[in-house]
Amino acid sequence: DTGVSQDPRHKITKRGQNVTFRCDPISEHNRLYWYRQTLGQGPEFLTYFQNEAQLEKSRLLSDRFSAERPKGSFSTLEIQRTEQGDSAMYLCASSFPTSGRLGEQFFGPGTRLTVL
C-alpha cells in the first residue's frame, strides 16, 4: 500500500505525559500537513512542511506541540504535558508540489489520542 500511513492508530495516555506520533507520507509528495479533528468538526490545521522546512504553524497551537520532518520524508508530532483537551484525532496529509495553489491532499488513517 503506497498511501499515507500513521502510527500508532490509537494512543491512550495519562494527563501530563508526552506522546509522539509518526506520519509516513506518499513518497513523491514534498508537502506534509498535520491536522487535528474533534467530533462534529472539520480538520483544524496545525502545521505544514515543504520538504524538511516547517513553513507554517497555526497561531492557535500551544507551545506544547512540536513537529519535525528531519529528512523531508516522515514526520513526527509531539505533544508535551498532555491535557484532556488534547483528546482528538490527529490526521496527517500529504500532497504533490503544485504551482500557485494548494493541491489535492491525501490523508492517512489518523491517530486517535485519548488523554485520561
Partner 1 sequence: GQQVMQIPQYQHVQEGEDFTTYCNSSTTLSNIQWYKQRPGGHPVFLIQLVKSGEVKKQKRLTFQFGEAKKNSSLHITATQTTDVGTYFCAGPADSNYQLIWGAGTKLIIKP
Residues that bind partner 1 (CB under 8 A): 33, 40-45, 48, 55-56, 58, 91, 93, 101-110
Which CB atom, from 63 or from 104, has the smaller least distance to partner 1? 104
Nearest of 78, 94, 74 to residue 86 by alpha carbon: 78
Q: Give the C-alpha separation, 13 to 59, whole Å.
A: 25
Minimum distance from CB of 93 to partner 1 (Å)? 8
CB of 90 to partner 1, least distance (A): 11
Q: In angstroms, what is the minimal distance from the CB of 63 to partner 1?
A: 19
DSSP characters over 80-108: -S--GGG-EEEEEEEE---SSS----EE-
CB nearer to partner 1: pick between 25 and 43: 43
- Measured in degrees and rounded to the nearest 5, phi and psi for residue 34 equal -115, 135
> Are 36 and 115 spatial neighbours (Cβ–Cβ below 8 Å)?
no
C-beta closer to partner 1: residue 20 or 58: 58
28 or 104: whose CB is closer to partner 1? 104
Q: Measured in whole angstroms, how far is the alpha carbon of residue 96 from the centre of its chain?
A: 17
Question: Minimal distance in Å, beta carbon 44 to partner 1?
Answer: 7
